[in-house]
Amino acid sequence: MARLTALKALVQRFSFLLLLMTSVALMMLGRMDPQLVEHTRARVMDAFVPIQDAISRPAATAARLIETFVDIAEVYKENKQLRQENARLLQWKQAALRLDAENASLRSLLRYRPEPKSTFISARVIAAPGGPFLRDIVVTAGRREGVHRGQAAVAGAGMVGRVVEVGEWSSRVLLITDINARVPVVLDGSRQRAVLAGDNSDQPRLIYLPPDAPVTIGDRVVTSGDGGLFPAGLPVGVVSFIGDHMVKIQPMVDMGRLEHVQLINFGLPGGLAGEAERLTSLK
Amino acid sequence: MNTSIWQRLDQVGRSLAPAAVTTMLVLLSMVPLQLPGWDKLVPSMALMSVYYWSIHRPDLLPPSAAFTIGLLQDMLAGTPPGLTALVLVTCHLVVETQRAFFLANGFLILWLGFAFIAVGAVLLQGMIYTVLYQTLIPMQSPLVQAAVTVSVFPVFASLFISVHRAFLKEV
């Protein structure tokens, strides 16, 4: 009997070791064969979509309810602000219409070939599963809706991330604030190119920016379209902090409050994105 | 024959409670609540659950269950596969060696023990990410998240205790 319990304890001790080793092996497998992991993940994600969809609905409703009360309290102040903003925007609208007409006539002079029309896929955010080490969201649109890996995700005023995994009816979007996210961008005023790099904080950094580049707080940052990963000109954020060797960007969109996103299909992916796609299909 | 098939089924159902609660918490912790900062500060509910059950009912939440639940979380969250599994199994392992001590002492010790586990789990994850990504991971928000997790532990502990009392008295 004593021997039996000793054996049991031994097995138990080894089961721990076995489980720990399996975890490490899985992590190594994830590095060696990311596609296999991605595939499996997409399956699991798809399977749990109905549950996550169902439990995210009451949460969204509750959040909206709280927001409604806050809105009611601030409605007068906001109305005043909006009137002022509206007056200013009407002026801008005139300017935009004038520029649009001018642009069209100049394009006709140059025989400019416009970029292929982008289409949008709208999806609901059903999970923000990353925790403190990862910034990602799961949305309810997948291969069936025409989602592809690498598509840009936008919400409201700007870009929020990029599709990294596609399931049948769900996909995972890596937010631009994640430590692994890199977006080629351009500063709107100076046309200075740089790369936006997330660091898991709310404000990603600009890297590969020449030290003498003219940057001021409030400069708009938009996607440059370099590498063919994203369409050019998507607003990403504004410069919010300039320190020694460090420029930080405040994204246009509050990543913690995403409810719906739009995934952009901007025609055939060329450049690096196309290259990556071809490599994937070859494998 | 004094246990009928229904009683057996009932028993099996009850003994699944710890694993079921933990899985539910994994899913709940992923709900986007649209509250400012929630996405970063959401407490690691699975860790709390594994901690509680590996002290009170390790027979009903064995290391293999902790592993499976961790792997599920990794698959859903997009974290490297096996990472959360490793953290939860390690938590189970560490806690089980101190089980008698925790059972002999009161809630305050249980809470204090969890504080160590939560900070340890975050540091372990930070180390693994640093090795995997080969870059230093900012640890500020993970540590804040660990603090949030520790501070809400009593709330979740009371949930576990009520589940424990309601379902597992005779199992």
pLDDT tens figures, A179-193: 999 999 999 888 889
User: Is residue B7 a contact partner of residue B171, using CB atoms and an 8 Å limit?
Assistant: no
Q: Which amino acid is at B43?
A: P
Cα–Cα distance for residue pair A110/B90, rounded to 1 Å:
66
Q: Are residues A162 and A224 in the same domain?
A: yes
Q: Which residues on neighbouring strands pair with residue A125, listed in sequence order?
A: A139
Mean pLDDT for all residues in chain A: 85
- Residues A247, A126: one domain? yes
| CATH class entry, domain B5-167 | mainly alpha
pLDDT of residue A277: 55
For residue A272, pLDDT beyond 80: no
What's the confidence (pLDDT) of residue A105? Answer: 84
Cα separation, A151 vs A280, in Å, equals 15
Residues A26 and A80 in one domain: no
The DSSP element (H or E) to which B3 belongs, if any, is none
> Which of the residues B24, B30, B95, B141 would you substitute to probe the A interface, choosing the one with the greatest number of A C-beta atoms within 10 Å?
B30
Gap between the Cα atoms of B45 and A222, Å rounded: 38
Q: Is A67 domain-assigned?
A: no
CA pair distance A251, A173, nearest whole angstrom:
16
> Is residue A222 located within the same domain as residue A278?
yes
Q: Note if the pTM is more than 0.90.
A: no
Average pLDDT over residues B18-44: 87
Helix (H) or strand (E) holding A195: strand A193-197
Asked if B32's CB is within 8 angstroms of A137's CB, the reply is yes
Identify whether residues A176 and A238 lie together within a single domain. yes
Q: Dihedral, CA atoms, A160, A165, A171, A175, nearest 10 degrees?
A: -20
**Is the pLDDT reported for residue A4 higher than 90?**
no
Summarize the confidence of residues A239-247 as an average pLDDT: 88
Residue A214 maps to a domain: yes
What's A132's DSSP letter? Answer: G
Q: Residue A131: inside a domain, yes or no? A: yes
Interface mutation vs chain A, best among B25, B34, B140, most A CBs within 10 Å:
B34
- Tell me which chain B residues have a C-beta less than 8 angstroms from the C-beta of A127: 30-32, 76
Helices (H), chain A: 2-32, 34-73, 75-110, 271-282
Structural domain span for residue A142: 119-282
Whether residue A138 is found in the same domain as residue A224:
yes
Distance from CA of A127 to the nearest CA of B (A): 5
In a domain, A272, yes or no: yes
Instruction: Give the tokens for residue A180.
Output: 């692994």
Q: Over 70: is that where the pLDDT of A154 sits?
A: yes
Residue A21: partners with Cβ closer than 8 Å, 6 or more residues away: none
Say if A117 is an interface residue toward chain B (CB within 8 Å): no
pLDDT tens-digit map of B39-85: 778 899 999 999 999 999 998 999 999 999 999 999 999 899 999 99
Cβ–Cβ contact A203 with B under 8 A: no
Number of domains composing chain A: 3
Residues 209-248 of A with CB under 8 A from B: none
Average pLDDT over residues B132-152: 91
Are A219 and A274 part of one and the same domain?
Answer: yes
- Whether A97 and A137 share a structural domain: no
Instruction: Say if A69 falls within a structural domain.
Output: no
Q: Which of B61, B63, B47, B52 is nearest to B103 (CA)?
A: B52
In this predicted model, which residue has the larger pLDDT, A278 or B90?
B90
> Residue A283: which pLDDT band, with cuts at 50, 70 and 90?
very low
